[in-house]
Amino acid sequence: MSDTRQQHNRYQQETFDVQVDVFRQVIAKDIQERTRRIVAAAELMPNDRILDVGTGIGVLIPDFHFFGVTDIVGCDISSLMLAEARVRFPEIDFWCGDVIDLPHKFGPFDVIYFNAMFGNVCDQRQTLEAIRPRLTANGRIIISHPMGASFQAQLQRENSRLVPHLLPNLKRLNELIAGLTLRVHHFADEDQLYLCCLKQS
Domain of residue 154, residue span: 5-19+29-200
DSSP 11-44: HHHHHHHT-HHHHHSPPPHHHHHHHHHHHHTT--
Instruction: Residue 194: give its domain's CATH number.
Output: 3.40.50.150
pLDDT tens per residue, range 19-44: 999 999 989 999 999 999 999 999 99
- Asked if the structure places residue 196 within a domain, the reply is yes
DSSP 106-146: G--EEEEEEES-TTTSS-HHHHHHHHGGGEEEEEEEEEEET
- Asked if the structure places residue 95 within a domain, the reply is yes
- Asked if the structure places residue 96 within a domain, the reply is yes
What confidence score (pLDDT) does residue 1 get? Answer: 38
Residues 195 and 193: their CA atoms lie apart, in Å, by 6
| Rg of the Cα atoms in the chain | 16
Q: 3-state DSSP call for residue 100? A: helix
**Residue 192 CB-density burial (10 A; 0-12 exposed, 13-18 middle, 19+ buried):** middle
Residues 146 and 152: their CA atoms lie apart, in Å, by 10
How many structural domains comprise the chain?
Answer: 1
Q: What is the pLDDT along the chain (201 residues), one digit of tens a residue?
A: 367 999 999 999 999 999 999 999 989 999 999 999 999 999 999 999 999 999 999 999 999 999 999 999 999 999 999 999 999 999 999 999 999 999 999 989 999 999 999 999 999 999 999 999 999 999 999 999 999 999 999 999 999 999 999 999 999 999 999 999 999 999 999 999 999 999 998
What confidence score (pLDDT) does residue 67 get? Answer: 96
- Asked if the structure places residue 24 within a domain, the reply is no
- Asked if the structure places residue 33 within a domain, the reply is yes
Peptide bond into 108 cis (omega under 30): yes
CA proximity to 193, closest of 134, 158, 143, 139:
143
Torsion on CA atoms 176, 178, 183, 189, rounded to nearest 10: 30
